[in-house]
A = this chain, B = another copy of it.
Amino acid sequence: MQKTSIATPKTVHVNCSDCPIRHRAVCARCDDDELERLEEIKYYRSFEAGQTVVWSGDRMDFVASVVSGIATLTQTMEDGRRQMVGLLLPSDFVGRPGRETAAYDVTATTDLVMCCFRKKPFEDVMMATPHVGQRLLEMTLDELDAAREWMLLLGRKTAREKIASLITIIARRDASLAARKNGGPVVVDLPLTREAMSEYLGLTLETVSRQISALRRDGVIEIEGKRHITIPDFDRLIEEAGDDADGGFLV
């Protein structure tokens, strides 16, 4: 894998109103002056599927949020065992104000566009505008909750439950709420390879494959091609995931 260069803004068709920092309301309460400051230090980078954004331990002098596509945070042990510890969907945030180097490998699993802010100026804006820091705290607390849900999955769920859980997690962020509420079939495209799923779930990819086949055999999901899934009965899937019916609405 090779490192990528910064995309020139003109190759990336994103305008301010698409910026996820704005989208997720960091700036909702900022005045024009503050917005202006964020605008100035903002730039876009894009990556192709499979490219690495930064390696764990590398210097990382920006923070960013995902505009489109999917990125992962992964930890690696010396002998090569890998565990995904973060899945970044559009509007999610990466990077830690006040830290020099990346703590995890950050990888684009699909084509990816990120909205970046150089760290130092971003920290200055944070100091000057409490709202930005407050929004960041809120987002970090959400991530912590998600991490704790994930810990339950890793520590206590069976392989089948893990697969069902992952599909619900992706469907919840992906599919229209409407489709889920009215009990109609839900359609999702898995944005991850079987290997990436195995790194998310703490399984081997063979086990992932077998359990997906099993869920299909049992009619819990239907599959077209490798990645396109339809869920005829979302409540049934939630049951298979071992979650409370409403657990996912917390996050």
What is the CB-to-nearest-CB distance from A97 to chain B, in angstroms, rounded to a whole number?
A: 8
Q: Could you say how many copies of this chain the assembly holds?
A: 2
Interface residues of A in 79-127 (CB under 8 A from B): 79, 81-83, 85-86, 96, 98, 103-104, 126-127
Q: Which of B85, B136, B141 contacts A148 (CB 8 A)?
A: B85
Given A75-B152, A151-B150: A133 in contact with B144 (beta carbons within 8 A): no
Distance, CA A154 to CA B148, complexed state (A): 12
Q: Which residues of B contact A156 (CB under 8 A)?
A: 77, 81-83, 202
User: Is there a chain B Cβ closer than 8 Å to A224's Cβ?
Assistant: no
User: Is there a chain B Cβ closer than 8 Å to A71's Cβ?
Assistant: no
User: Is there a chain B Cβ closer than 8 Å to A225's Cβ?
Assistant: no
User: Is there a chain B Cβ closer than 8 Å to A233's Cβ?
Assistant: no
Most chain B beta-carbon neighbours within 10 Å: one of A138, A147, A152: A152
Distance, CA A230 to CA B207, complexed state (A): 39
Distance, CA A133 to CA B130, complexed state (A): 8
User: Is there a chain B Cβ closer than 8 Å to A242's Cβ?
Assistant: yes
Q: Which of B127, B138, B242 contacts A98 (CB 8 A)?
A: B138
What is the CB-to-nearest-CB distance from A83 to chain B, in angstroms, rounded to a whole number?
A: 4
Q: By the criterion CB–CB under 8 Å, are B78 and A141 in contact?
A: no
Q: Which residues of B contact A141 (CB under 8 A)?
A: 96, 140
Q: Which residues of B contact A244 (CB under 8 A)?
A: 78
Q: Which of B78, B83, B138 contacts A155 (CB 8 A)?
A: B83
CB-nearest residue of chain B relative to A101? B250
> Which A positions have Cβ atoms within 8 angstroms of B?
73, 75, 77-79, 81-83, 85-86, 96, 98, 103-104, 126-127, 130, 133-134, 136-138, 140-141, 143-145, 147-152, 154-156, 201-202, 242, 244, 250
30 contacts between A and B (CB under 8 A): A73-B148, A75-B149, A75-B152, A77-B156, A77-B242, A78-B242, A78-B244, A82-B156, A83-B152, A85-B151, A85-B152, A86-B148, A96-B141, A98-B138, A103-B148, A103-B250, A104-B148, A130-B130, A130-B133, A133-B133, A133-B137, A140-B140, A140-B141, A144-B144, A144-B147, A147-B148, A147-B151, A151-B151, A155-B201, A155-B202
